[in-house]
Each structure stands twice: as C-alpha cells, then as structure tokens.
Structure 1
Amino acid sequence: MLAGLALALGLALALAAEPPDCAPLVPATLDAESISRILGKWIYLIGSSKYPPHIEELKTVKYATFFFYPGSHEDELNVTEIMRVNETCVTRNTSKIHIFWNNSTLMHADGPVVSVAELIQSDKDLLILKHFNTGFLGLSLSVRSHNVSKEHLEEFRAQLACHGFTDDEIFPVSEKEACPVPGEQPGDDGEAAPEPQLA
C-alpha cells in the first residue's frame, strides 16, 4: 500500500516537473488593421514544412526579402520577392496574396503553385504564418529587421518542436546569402522598396 502511494506520488511529481504544453498558435482576425500592419518589407528567416514539394522548395531558398503592397482589389495584396535560389538572385513581381475575410486565411498564388495560410497573432515586427497544404502543416517566420530578439527566435523554435518538426523539415536562411535590394545599401534594413513592376 505504501509502495503504491509512494509510486503514485513520485509519478505525480514527475508529471508536474514536465514542461507545460505548447502555447497555442492563435490566428489573427483579418481586417483592415491587421492587413495594414503586414504591408511593407519583410525578411524571411526560417521556414518549415511537412509537405514534400515544399520541403524541396525550402531547400533551394538561401535568403529572401519580400514586400507586400495593396492590390487592385481590397481582397488582394501584390508581392515583390527578392530571393537567392541556390546560387542565383531572383526578383519576382508576379505573385499575389488573396485575402479571404470570411475565414481569415491568406492564399498565395504563384502560377500553378497555391498555398493557404493563417496569420498568427504575434509581435508587430514578426510575421508568423501557419501554412496548410493538402493537409500538411508548415510554419514560417519573417521579421522587419535582422535585430530580432533571441527570445523571439527561441519561442519560434519551441513552436517548431511542439508541432513535431524535425531538423530535416526546418530551413533557416543565412544573411550572408542576401541579394541586393534596389535602393538599399548592403546591411541596411531600411524600408526602401523596389518599385512594383509588371513582370
């Protein structure tokens, strides 16, 4: 009897010492204010996915900067992406983000490749997206500048672990691989942006 009580008490103490469950990722409600907050320049830092085609894409992206602009309709954003894909810097002005106000989701359309994401509530200088691709989960973190805090990075890494992402499914980029952004000096995290052009 005492042995059983001691075992139960030991188990309860061991369970109490375990780290708490992950904080839930809370989707932001998409409205004019939240969309206005994400306009402008973002620096992509790290992405993860369990969707095999996206894993292959993420392996090739060494660095990326992107800009959100208002689109021609209230339910659309234009995107300019400047990225290093393998060894080549590429600029694309052709992709769009479609805003679905009714369920607060974003859909990125880039030719035949489509992905759906939720904007996650976070610090104003962080852009956390939870991606859904045919039932496969993905998470990405972008920032306004390279001066992101260590705490924010650790929190995001903890979320990746909580969602079961392995090292093989997590792809950080390197600032050393940055492509030049028109109107910016190297190492400048200013808000200068390339003029949107038709591609």
Structure 2
Amino acid sequence: MLATLTLLLGLPLALATESPSCAPLISVTFDNATVPGLLGQWIYIIGASRYPPHLEELKAVKHAVFSFSPGSHEDELNVTEIMRLNETCVVRNTSKIQVFRHNSTLAHVDDQVASTAELIQSDKDLLILKHLNTNFPSLSLSARTPNVSKEHLEEFKAHLRCLGFTEEEMFFTSEKDACPLPGEKTGEGDAEPQLG
C-alpha cells in the first residue's frame, strides 16, 4: 500500500520533468479570406517526408519560389514554380491547386499526379502544409520572405521531431541556390531557367 501511494505521489513529479508533449497540428478551416490570403509569392524553406516520391524531390530541390494566382474559377489557383533541382533551374507554370472548402484541403495537380495537403494554422506570412499520404508523414514550410524567424523555424522543427523526423531527415533550401527570375539579368555562370 505504501509503495503504491509513493508511486502515485511520485508520478506527477516524474511527468512534470518530461519534455513537453507535442502540440497537435491544427488545420485551417477555410473561409472567404483563406484563398485570397494564399495569393502571391512564397519561398520554400524546409520540408520532410517519408513518402518515397516526395522524399526524392526534397533531396533534389535546392531552392524554390512559387506563386499562386487566381484560376479560372474561385476554387482553383494557378501555380508558377521556379526551382533549382540539383544544378538545373526549372520554371513550371502548368500546375493547378484545387481548393476543397468542404474539408479544408488543397490538391496540387501536376502532369496528372495529384497530392493533397491540409493548411496548418500559423503566422499569416508562413505556409505550413501537412501532406496527406497514407501512413507517410510529410510536412513543409514556406514563407513570404527567405528570412524566417529563429522562433518560427524552431517551432516548425519541433513539429517535425514530433512526427518522428531527425535533423538528417529535414531538407532545407538555400537562398544562395536561387534561380534568376524570368527576365532577370544573370551573371556569368548562372543558368537560365528552363521551361518545364
């Protein structure tokens, strides 16, 4: 009896000294301001995935800038991507984002390949996407500028650790690998973006 009482009294102390539990990722419930808030340019910062096709792409992407513009109807966004895949700059402007307001998800359709994601609540200048692939956790962070605060970055990395990712499984992009924007003058050695 005394041992049980000691154990029960000591348990709250032991629990209090453990690291804080992982905060759940809370999806954005789409409203009339959600889609307009996504429009404009975003810079891809960091991502992690266990889904094999996404993992391969994360390893290849050295820098990416993408922008959303209104599509042909209110639940569609046009996407333009400028990215460095390994050593090659590529421009893609053929993909679309379908907005599903009823379940607050986004579907990216590119060359007949679709991937779905939930928009996670966060700062208005951050775009956190939880990619929905059965049994494969995937999370990415993009921002309006390449300079994400240390606090926001650490909070995002904490979410990744809660999903079981190690530092080695987190793939960062680098501003030094940015491709020139179309029409921008390039210095010697810069690769012109290729339309893809």
Q: Given the two structures, how large is their TM-score scaled by the length of structure 1?
A: 0.86
Q: Secondary structure at the match of 1:62?
A: strand
Distance in 2 (alpha carbons) for counterparts of 1:135 and 1:97: 23
Partner of residue 150, structure 1: 150
Distance in 2 (alpha carbons) for counterparts of 1:5 and 1:149: 47
Tell me, yes or no, if the aligned pair for 1:78 and 1:96 is still in contact at 8 Å.
yes
The Cα RMSD (Å) is 2.1
Partner of residue 121, structure 1: 121
Partner of residue 38, structure 2: 38
Displacement after TM superposition at 1:171 (Å): 1.0
Distance in 1 (alpha carbons) for counterparts of 2:22 and 2:184: 39
Q: Which moved more, 1:84-93 or 1:50-59?
A: 50-59
Partner of residue 77, structure 1: 77
Q: Secondary structure at the match of 1:79?
A: strand
Tell me, yes or no, if the aligned pair for 1:55 and 1:169 is still in contact at 8 Å.
no
Displacement after TM superposition at 1:11 (Å): 3.7
Tell me, yes or no, if the aligned pair for 1:80 and 1:92 is still in contact at 8 Å.
yes
Q: Which moved more, 1:101-110 or 1:2-11?
A: 2-11
Displacement after TM superposition at 1:136 (Å): 1.9
Q: Secondary structure at the match of 1:123?
A: coil
Gaps of 5+ in 1: 187-197
Partner of residue 176, structure 2: 176
Distance in 1 (alpha carbons) for counterparts of 2:184 and 2:97: 25
Tell me, yes or no, if the aligned pair for 1:64 and 1:82 is still in contact at 8 Å.
yes
Displacement after TM superposition at 1:112 (Å): 2.7
Q: Which moved more, 1:35-44 or 1:11-20?
A: 11-20
Gaps of 5+ in 2: 187-194
Distance in 1 (alpha carbons) for counterparts of 2:111 and 2:183: 28
Distance in 2 (alpha carbons) for counterparts of 1:112 and 1:169: 28
Q: Given the two structures, how large is their TM-score scaled by the length of structure 2?
A: 0.88
Partner of residue 50, structure 1: 50
Give the aligned residue type for 2:94.
Answer: T
Aligned length: 188
Q: Which moved more, 1:69-78 or 1:169-178?
A: 169-178
